[in-house]
Amino acid sequence: MKHRTLGRTGLEIAPLVLGGNVFGWTVDEKASFTLLDAFVDAGLNAIDTADIYSAWVPGHHGGESETILGNWFHQRPANRDKVVLITKVGSAFAPDKKGLSKRWIAQAVEDSLRRLRTDHIDLYLSHWPDPEVPYEETLGAFDALVKAGKVKAIGASNLDATQLAASLGAAKKAGLPRYEVLQPEYNLYSREKFEGDLEALTTREGIGVIPYFSLASGFLTGKYRSEADFGQSPRGAGMAKYMNPRGKAILASLDQVSHDQNASLGEVALAWLLAKPGVTAPIASATNLVQMASLAKATTLTLTADQVALLDKAGA
């Protein structure tokens, strides 16, 4: 499996990043370990999580995903050096435990390192924009972590083109490290947030791009075709927004390419992202071994120019 360079970080990753949001949410620790073992065996090497995962689950407080990953590293210590570990800071645990201030980043990184049972994070991302904190303060806090060896590289999630450009300008002016990776929402259905100015900026600046919601929370796998299907998973309740003529046209185009490629709809949707020159590697989750094998297969799938054009047109 040919690895891709993640922006200017020097980190080499397989062309798919495993989403760790499911660990402790829809899969327990034992099942998570099984999936993580299969992930390494498949030749994949980048895992994305966040300090806040999975605080949305009743009875959870955040940190559950990082804790499971940390326990896996502890039981299989050789795997830590095989993995590019990505986590995020900035989501709200409490009114005084959120955002991108120097104070909170300094505390949050220690909390993440403790849960992850490691001495460094390979790629540390700001999770959300924080309009109350100047970019110089945030980047200065990240700079201190890089110099201390606790973080290898930094990036940002959910910035638009104006915000990313402002952060790059602030970094240059203050002589601070810049965001080298962007994590935007981007998939065959949700394209407006990335395509255009933001895609042009990341391409021009050589910034790595690892999109999340690559399968539109499962919609692009084709398992949700009507309201009757919404009860299949905890994410089913969010499928109604995709059930419109455009969403159905996208599924129809995926059905056609899936048939021609002898591949699943999800594999085709991920291959479409991988065919985009501005994308380094999409993020996708798995909750069972069949799905994990499918993620690995997607990295080997090459769409024809006509197939990419068909999908582009359906999702335009």
Residues marked active site are found at 53
Token pair recorded at residue 12:
């080499």
Token pair recorded at residue 244:
């419109």
Exposure class string for 294-303: b at 16+ Cβ within 10 A, else e: bbbbbbebeb
Counts of helices then strands in the chain (DSSP H, E): 10, 10
Token pair recorded at residue 230:
């919404």
Contact status, residue 44 vs residue 14, Cβ threshold 8 Å: yes
* DSSP 8-class letter at 158: S
Distance of CA 273 to the CA centre of its chain: 13
Contact status, residue 198 vs residue 160, Cβ threshold 8 Å: yes
Identity (one letter) of the amino acid at 249? A
Strand partners, 121: 151
CA distances for 310 relative to 88, 200, 256, 259, 264, angstroms: 35, 22, 9, 14, 16
- Quickly list H helices, 92-213: 102-116, 135-147, 161-174, 197-205
Strand partners, 209: 182
Distance CA 247, CA 26 (A): 25
Residue 158: which region, alpha, beta or left (left: phi > 0; alpha: psi -120 to 50)?
Answer: left
